[in-house]
Structures are given as C-alpha cells and as structure tokens.
C-alpha cells in the first residue's frame, strides 16, 4: 500500500516532467506544440489550484516558484509572434 510520501514523490516527478515539457513545447511555434503547451498548462494550473485549496506546500510537489502564466503562456505568445 502506498503511503503519502510515495504518492508525493510520484506526483512531484509527473509534475516536474509536465513543467519541463510544457515550457519546451511553448517555445516551438508549430500548432501541435502550441496545443501541447496548453494541455500542460491546464494540468499544471489544476495541480497548483488543488494544492493551494488543500494546503499542500507547492515545494512538496516541485512547483514552488513556478508561474505557468509566465513560463508557459508568455513563452507561447512569444513563439507565436516570432513565427
């Protein structure tokens, strides 16, 4: 049976991967990559909102200091403008 720490480690790894891949996808101007960036943005913002509602420290899930609006949406807009 999983304990809370096991679940946090799994969640942190998944969210760190989503964060990294979301930022990378946002840098590319292809339509597919831009859609992918938005999917990662949605997943990450839901994770942040739920953590805040439940009082989970964002540091515990690897998202402390991460701003999806800045790091994904703004990067996405810049990539689209440059294309």
Pair of tokens at residue 53: 């509602």
pTM here is 0.89
Which DSSP string corresponds to 37-53?
HHHHHHHHHHHHHHHHH
Q: Tell me the residue range of the domain where 37 lies.
A: 4-82
In the chain, % helix, strand, coil (3-state, to 5) comes to 80, 0, 20
Q: How many domains does the chain have?
A: 1
Q: How confident is the model at residue 59 (pLDDT cuts 50, 70, 90)?
A: very high
Distance CA 44, CA 16 (A): 9
Task: Give me the mean pLDDT over the 70-78 stretch.
Answer: 91
**pLDDT score recorded for residue 30:** 92
In contact, 26 and 35? CB cutoff 8 Å = no
């Amino acid at each position: 049976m999983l304990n809370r720490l096991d679940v946090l480690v799994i969640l942190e790894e998944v969210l760190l991967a989503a964060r990294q891949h979301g930022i990378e996808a946002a840098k590319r101007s292809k339509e597919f990559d831009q859609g992918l960036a938005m999917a990662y943005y949605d997943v990450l913002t839901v994770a942040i909102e739920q953590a805040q509602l439940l009082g989970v420290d964002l540091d515990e899930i690897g998202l402390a200091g991460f701003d999806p609006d800045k790091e994904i949406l703004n990067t996405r807009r810049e990539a689209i403008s440059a294309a």
